[in-house]
Structure 1
């Protein structure tokens, strides 16, 4: 069995409330040795932290403010995030970033929130997990400006071009690959052969973006091997090699 880490999973989400124990059991059986959980905003905090308690050492939390939760009152959200970061250790700041797919009206606030969280990642010396939907260039600009040689992190659910991938890697960031890699028109068939395994992590982003053949259904960590297998096929290497390298990359980045 391949040892895998799901580097980005909303396993604490309400979609898993009826059967979270069973979903975790299936993920363990599938070879997923740990699940890393990004925060969204104040509404996700209780469930996030309770899931950590329920599955100690297995479900590990991050702390950040998702760009889709950045509204007029985003300073209040950031105050709460900062308070938690000062209280205890988290594996990363996240997820944060920019999202110009759903709503562009708060782009300036999103940029301010991201800049603040980039500073926190440096202050606490932990990686930052970036959401960049329809916003790679804008996100890249802010991250590049903040990079002082100490900033580390990952562009989560990466689906950009080979040129964008190279620029992200040059910033000393990883790229996390999820279910989109299995989609017929996902674009990963041209990207992944160009990118070294040394720069990749695996994720499900569950309950979203389930890989084929589960596309359109609830995603879960037990489907992570399908992503590893797809990457192996595209790179013409073994799934075991994909698991070995990406798992070590994840451990190194998040200091697991």
Structure 2
């Protein structure tokens, strides 16, 4: 069984004391593919080091996270452009709109989101979308930008069944993580109405740990708890879900 974690911040400071041990635990737990989203330029070197340390298992994205779209966002976007120009990445992400932390930056968040969608199209890469309290705004941008070469993942999907169908209509897979195990997460109430061909697995480690680790540091090994929950909801084996979702990740990322 091969499990793919399509979204994990393994370079996070939360793993400073045991990063390699934590990754090895995940590998022993059948998690063999880790896709690493970018936040901003300050994390780039740490991401590259991860790839050097685990070249067969680590796959990097490049992008500017919406909560890091600040006064210097044009410089940060230039960094994204230069990195995409200079080496291989597997997605542009994580990008999008976050209105939970700061609504005042909405205009420049939209500008940065659109700019990075254009970069993704230029390099024929998927996008990985961060959406927090911003489904309407995200869908507005996707409606404007939709085309055959726009595709990717709605990371940490927490919307309604209607939102799920809408996201899928824009060529997006749904990134399902620890929230599916929460009592108040709600997506467990309808996710089995979504064909598994539209789903990929993720942790968003070190955030959003699944039950029974909720509130603690998340790590990629815990994706097995997401797998167990989906196996229960869909009524099929963990192995089959791991196989389907890993194939979906290969379709998105091209590897």
TM class by shorter-chain length? Answer: over 0.9
CA contact (8 A) 1:6 1:34 kept: yes
Count of aligned pairs between the two proteins? 255
**Correspondence list, 1:20-169, <5 A:** 20-169=19-168
Hey, what does 2:223 align to over in structure 1?
224
**TM-score (norm. length: structure 2):** 0.98
Offset, 1:188: 1.6
Name the CA distance, whole Å, in 2 between partners of 1:83 and 1:62.
13
Could you list the runs of 5+ residues in structure 1 that have no partner in the other structure? Answer: none
Q: Which runs of 5+ in 2 are unaligned?
A: none
CA RMSD in angstroms comes to: 0.8
Trace 1:164-183 onto structure 2 (pairs within 5 A).
164-183=163-182
2:213 corresponds to: 214
- The answer on whether the counterparts of 1:118 and 1:143 sit within 8 Å (CA) in structure 2 is no
1:64-112 residue CA offsets vs partner (Å, 9 max, x unmatched): 0000000122101101111101001100000000000111010000000
- Indicate the SS of the match to 1:106: helix
Whole-Å separation in 1 of the counterparts to 2:27 and 2:83: 29
Work out the CA distance in 2 between the residues paired with 1:190 and 1:182.
11
TM-score normalized by the length of structure 1: 0.98
Pair 1:247-2:246 in alignment: yes
Tell me if 1:190 matches 2:189.
yes
**1:94-134, Cα deviation, whole Å (9 max, x unpaired):** 00000001110100000000000000110000100000011
Q: Which secondary structure state, in structure 2, belongs to the residue aligned with residue 105 of structure 1?
A: helix
Where has structure 1 moved over 3 Å in runs of 4 or more?
Answer: none
